[in-house]
Structure 1
Amino acid sequence: MASPQSTQFAVAVHVLTYLAGSGAGPSSPHPRTVGATELAASTQVTPVHVRRVLAPLREAGILASTPGARGGWRLLVEPERITLDTVWRLVRGDEPVLAIHLPSPKCPVGRSIQDGLHDVDAAVARATEETLAR
């Protein structure tokens, strides 16, 4: 059975939902920041992984982070304005959806199958984005 390509999207959605429900949103009367250690415990990944996953969301202006021992993450955008397709595009970047191997250039099958696999990957990416945009 195939394994999932990446947990980044799931971790990002988990963290955004966690922040929205924990008083770290822009409309909270006393917004708080939530540390990467707390987010890592909730998502069962390392704090380093949390920071890597959230970096594109910070760069897009969805999240803010404060460094240091008392630092953490908070939402800059109301949760209802954050769409799943936006999160998907931000955390995925230019990475393929499918894990496409690099075959031997000497292999006639490997030389000819790559274009077809890339076309399939592009179709899967489009279908995923369309589904998440609903």
Structure 2
Amino acid sequence: MSANSRLTIAAHALAWIGLYQRHGHEVATSEQIATSANTNPVVIRRLLGELRRAGLVESRRGVGAGWSLAREPSSMTLLDVYEAVEPGPLFAMHRATPDQGCVVGRAIQPTMRSIYEGIEETLRRELARVTLEDVIRDVLAASSAASGNARPVDYFT
């Protein structure tokens, strides 16, 4: 079973758009974002479509087409992003009902459901504490530290 990267890619795209806009650009293209995320622009467009439906980004068509943030980074939490791109529960139960005649089979789902609800509550609480502004700040700090510069490299000029 592989880990899901949708939240990470969505946060990457939003942080990239936010920084790009801070450098005076109105919109970012999915191709630009995809280059940074090292993925296909179609993946970025699909995620951005979900983020648009959630009111986190806006898109412009035609000449000067692209994506922009619909809200200030300080008002957008990772929980907002998570809920936009991960609509279902984090964990799932069996596809078929376990054997109700078995001591484990009849009790495993209520037991695991309780555990999963606690995990999801903790996850949501933690994601709600972190804004996109926090992510951008930490990205810039990590970028500066990784490059050995006192200031972040100006990637957008």
Pick the TM interval, shorter chain.
Answer: 0.7 to 0.9
Aligned to 1:91: 85
Aligned to 1:20: 18
Moved more, 73-82 or 42-51: 42-51
Aligned to 1:126: 121
Could you tell me which of 105, 109, 118 is aligned with 1:114? 109
1:60-79 equivalences in 2 (<5 Å): 60-67=54-61, 70-79=64-73
1:31-46 equivalences in 2 (<5 Å): 31-46=25-40
Cα deviation for residue 48 of structure 1 reads: 1.9
Please list the CA deviations of residues 56-97 of structure 1 after superposition, one character each: whole Å capped at 9, or x if unmatched: 32112221113468522111211111112221222211x121
- Structure 2: runs of 5 or more not aligned: 130-157
Q: How many residues align?
A: 126
Provide the C-alpha distance between the structure 2 equivalents of 1:101 and 1:13, rounded to a whole number of angstroms.
28
Q: Secondary structure at the match of 2:26?
A: coil
Q: TM-score, normalised by structure 1?
A: 0.76
Q: TM-score, normalised by structure 2?
A: 0.66
Please list the CA deviations of residues 73-127 of structure 1 after superposition, one character each: whole Å capped at 9, or x if unmatched: 111211111112221222211x1213x3535446444554223323322221110
Aligned to 1:102: 94
Cα deviation for residue 47 of structure 1 reads: 1.8
- Structure 1: runs of 5 or more not aligned: none
Cα deviation for residue 3 of structure 1 reads: 3.5
Please list the CA deviations of residues 23-69 of structure 1 after superposition, one character each: whole Å capped at 9, or x if unmatched: 2x6xx7x5422111221121122222212222232112221113468
Moved more, 118-127 or 62-71: 62-71
**Cα RMSD between the aligned structures?**
2.5
Provide the C-alpha distance between the structure 2 equivalents of 1:47 and 1:122, rounded to a whole number of angstroms.
34
Q: 1:68 to 1:45 in 2, by over 3 A?
A: farther
Kindly, what percent of the aligned residue pairs are identical?
A: 28
Moved more, 9-18 or 47-56: 47-56
Q: Which residue identity is paired with 1:102?
A: H
